[in-house]
Amino acid sequence: MRPKVRAYKRPDKISDYPSTPAFESGHLVSKNAGWRTFKPVVDPEKCVGCLRCYLVCPDGVISRTEDNKVEIDYDFCKGCGICAHECKLDAITMKKEADEDE
């Protein structure tokens, strides 16, 4: 299950700060894809739903759709390109983030 984004609430007093750099598990405090230059784009015609990309994604942002294809959560994708590199059918290509002609 993908973590939910929850806004960070600054503690009111010093004793409320955690003693470690940890945050309660199962939550993220921000979306982290704002600096991405390239993003993976899935061609649904080529994708056979093998889920190899899902297995190698270091951010865990790839999931299976109802029609056994894959979708990418761009809010958390860092654009590393591992999924595109590992896709044997070239169903995932890396596109420049500014390109709007998709």
- pLDDT (tens digit, 9 = 90+) per residue, 7-48? 777 888 988 877 776 656 665 666 776 778 999 999 999 999
Q: Where are the alpha helices (H) located in the chain, listed in sequence order?
A: 52-56, 82-86
Say what percent of the chain tops pLDDT 90: 44
Radius of gyration of the chain (CA): 17
The pLDDT mean for the chain works out to 84
Task: Determine the pLDDT at residue 76.
Answer: 85
Secondary structure (3-state) at 87 = coil
Domains of the chain: 4-96 (3.30.70.20)
Euclidean distance between CA atoms 82 and 16, whole angstroms: 40
pLDDT tier at 95 (50, 70, 90 boundaries)? very high
Euclidean distance between CA atoms 102 and 90, whole angstroms: 16
Asked if residues 94 and 102 have their Cβ atoms less than 8 Å apart, the reply is no
Q: Provide the whole-model pTM.
A: 0.69
